[in-house]
């Protein structure tokens, strides 16, 4: 396998470092056998999702179109070998890289060696090694893989090599998973798009003029094109959920300290004002459950004591024979969702209201503008100094959205110890007030848009209050797709804001402006991805929305 460490002199320019990383990525793709089909840039359509079927073998398409729960059955029954499955995903991931720019490197030797071990174990023992036996899993780059570069999206950090796998990777492999690909992330990791100097822009497989989301956007694009069906993302403000929503996938942000984070690399390590979470993105709801349960069943708190020591519990323990009570947020009171989002949410709620097992109530957001103000003030307690130093260490230029959040955001605050204490008290007071609201009007889950719009035009993703709300509260959340609006049929009712609409504030004005500029030409005609946050990991909602 191509070496992970950089091969250039220590005094290299940032451009030379970038060139080296991209050469390395391309070399790992070139290792795949049979070779990944060539694709000319000029032949790539806006919607790339139909390309794999044309360029891969029938069996490779069948394998990679299979969700986690069925893939495990196929492998453990002996119908498909783990080696065959792994190679199929390596080829589709290599193709996905050429179509969406979502890979930092493939890991063919590691993956195929592991697959061979699994096949030998199954043959010898007549049983799987674990619940994820043979399932290929992709990994966001800042989660370490032993022997590989770990740069977290900073050019200046290239050359750091992981001494061991991150703890979550160790648990997944113990459960039988095959680690086969690493995926892109944005500069600073603090964007809801994926754009870095190291690898450029990761694009949406359904429309390459749109974003794949961020910061786990490489995972979103790769899984959206089914170059993977299960991957690891991280989330401090929406970084699992926005890519899942942008690519029509399932995504799970657990409560912080639920799944193991030990070993991951990022700026501001040790910051505790808002804790990031680690979790899965998948093509199915069952993929999220299998991923999470396989780790929790191994009791990871014995190796990372800061984790919540709570066994996986069946949903029946929480939901006796009564209706599931669902609160609905249509608008967070800060930024009004674009018309297609509200239309899809209303249609979905209409279906829920017809279900005898569900009671739907409106959930009135409580000071979500205050929530955004609080979390924005404590994201960067040092005023962004650590992140800025990491970017500036190589003289790489600031990417537009990284510059926006760190240099143009008036909410970023450099705290003293005293002002940080005060900000933490504000955070805790808000959590207490929201809990009181919940206790006064108890619901089982809250259904909400994943954001004010569908997948954004590149460089425009500036508001993530619909997802960061739940990071501030530290509530678990699940994204699931509800509607696909790709259609050539004429619309009965055009999507539009109310006549004479006046934006609520500057943030709403910005998002409203995106609709007026791009709505009819970009957002409106593309795949319509919706999301809803589900409070408990064991909520037991169906894996597909009724037609």
- Answer whether 276's CB lies under 8 Å from 234's CB: yes
Does 189 count as an annotated binding residue? Answer: yes
- CA separation for the pair 280, 234 (Å, rounded): 8
Does 451 count as an annotated binding residue? Answer: no
**Extended beta strands in 317-394, E state:** 324-328, 358-362
For residue 179, give the nearest of 127, 232, 222, 142 by alpha carbon: 232
Residues counted in the chain: 547
Q: Which candidate in 140, 377, 388, 527 is catalytic? A: 140
Secondary structure of residue 524 in the 3-state scheme? coil
- CA separation for the pair 254, 276 (Å, rounded): 10
- CA separation for the pair 381, 60 (Å, rounded): 48
239 catalytic? Reply is: yes
Q: What is the DSSP letter of 532?
A: -
User: Percent helix, strand and coil across the chain, each rounded to 5?
Assistant: 40, 10, 50
- Answer whether 296's CB lies under 8 Å from 331's CB: no
Does 239 count as an annotated binding residue? Answer: yes
Do the bridges between strand 136-140 and strand 250-253 make them parallel or antiparallel, or are there none, so unpaired?
unpaired
Does 90 count as an annotated binding residue? Answer: no
Does 168 count as an annotated binding residue? Answer: no
Q: Cis ω on the peptide bond leading into residue 179 (within 30° of 0)? A: no
215 catalytic? Reply is: yes
Phi-psi region of 94 (alpha: psi -120 to 50; beta: other; left: phi over 0): alpha
- Answer whether 405's CB lies under 8 Å from 349's CB: no
Does 237 count as an annotated binding residue? Answer: yes
Cross-strand partners of 457 = 210
- CA separation for the pair 485, 495 (Å, rounded): 12
- Answer whether 182's CB lies under 8 Å from 150's CB: no
- CA separation for the pair 307, 299 (Å, rounded): 9
Q: Which candidate in 82, 239, 292, 468 is catalytic? A: 239
Q: Which candidate in 196, 215, 292, 394 is catalytic? A: 215
Q: How far apart are the first and last CA of the chain?
A: 46
Question: What residues form the annotated binding site?
Answer: 189, 215, 236-239
Binding residues for substrate, by number, are 189, 215, 236-239
Q: Which residues are catalytic?
A: 140, 215, 239
């Amino acid at each position: 396998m191509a070496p992970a460490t950089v091969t250039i002199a220590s005094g290299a320019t940032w451009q030379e470092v970038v060139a080296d990383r991209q050469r390395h990525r391309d070399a790992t793709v070139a290792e795949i056998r049979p070779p990944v089909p060539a694709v000319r840039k000029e032949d790539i359509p806006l919607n790339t999702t139909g390309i794999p079927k044309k360029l891969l073998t029938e069996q490779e398409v069948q394998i990679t179109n299979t969700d986690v729960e069925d893939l495990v059955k196929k492998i453990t029954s002996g119908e498909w070998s783990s080696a065959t499955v792994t190679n199929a995903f390596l080829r589709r991931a290599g193709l996905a890289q050429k179509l969406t720019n979502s890979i930092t490197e493939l890991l063919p030797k590691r993956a195929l060696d592991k697959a061979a071990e699994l096949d030998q174990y199954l043959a010898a023992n007549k049983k799987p090694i674990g619940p994820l036996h043979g399932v290929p899993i992709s990994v966001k780059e800042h989660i370490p893989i032993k022997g590989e570069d770990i740069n977290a999206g900073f050019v200046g950090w290239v050359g750091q090599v992981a001494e061991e796998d991150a703890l979550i990777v160790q648990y997944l492999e113990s459960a039988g998973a095959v680690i086969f690909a690493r995926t892109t992330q944005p500069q600073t990791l603090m964007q809801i798009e994926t754009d870095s100097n190291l690898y450029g822009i990761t694009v949406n497989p359904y429309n390459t003029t749109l974003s794949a989301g961020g910061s786990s956007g490489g995972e979103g694009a790769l899984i959206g094109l089914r170059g993977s069906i299960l991957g690891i993302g991280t989330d401090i403000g929406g970084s699992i959920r926005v890519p899942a929503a942008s690519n029509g996938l399932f995504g799970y942000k657990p409560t912080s300290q639920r799944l193991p984070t030990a070993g991951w690399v990022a700026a501001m390590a040790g910051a505790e004002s808002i804790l990031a979470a680690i979790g899965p993105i998948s093509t199915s709801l069952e993929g999220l459950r299998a991923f999470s349960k396989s780790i929790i069943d191994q009791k990871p708190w014995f190796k990372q004591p800061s984790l919540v020591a709570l066994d996986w519990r069946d949903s029946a323990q929480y939901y006796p024979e009564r209706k599931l009570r669902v609160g609905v947020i249509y608008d967070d009171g800060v930024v009004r969702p674009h018309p297609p989002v509200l239309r899809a949410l209303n249609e979905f709620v209409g279906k829920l209201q017809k279900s005898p097992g569900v009671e739907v109530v409106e959930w009135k957001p409580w000071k979500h503008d205050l929530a955004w103000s609080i979390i924005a003030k404590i994201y960067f307690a040092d005023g962004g100094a650590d992140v800025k130093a990491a970017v500036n260490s190589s003289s790489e230029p600031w990417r537009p959205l990284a510059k926006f959040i760190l240099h143009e955001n008036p909410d970023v605050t450099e705290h003293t110890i005293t002002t940080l204490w005060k900000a933490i008290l504000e955070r805790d007071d808000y959590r207490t007030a929201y809990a009181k609201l919940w206790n006064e009007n108890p619901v089982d889950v809250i259904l909400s848009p994943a954001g004010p719009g569908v997948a954004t035009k590149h460089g425009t993703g500036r508001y993530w209050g619909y997802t960061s709300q739940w990071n501030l509260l530290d509530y678990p959340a699940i994204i699931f797709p509800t509607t696909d609006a790709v259609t050539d049929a004429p619309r009965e009712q055009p999507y539009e804001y109310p006549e004479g609409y006046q934006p609520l504030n500057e943030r709403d004005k910005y998002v409203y402006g995106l609709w007026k500029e791009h709505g009819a030409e970009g957002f409106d005609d593309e795949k319509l991805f919706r999301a809803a946050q589900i409070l408990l990991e064991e909520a037991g909602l169906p894996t597909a929305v009724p037609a």
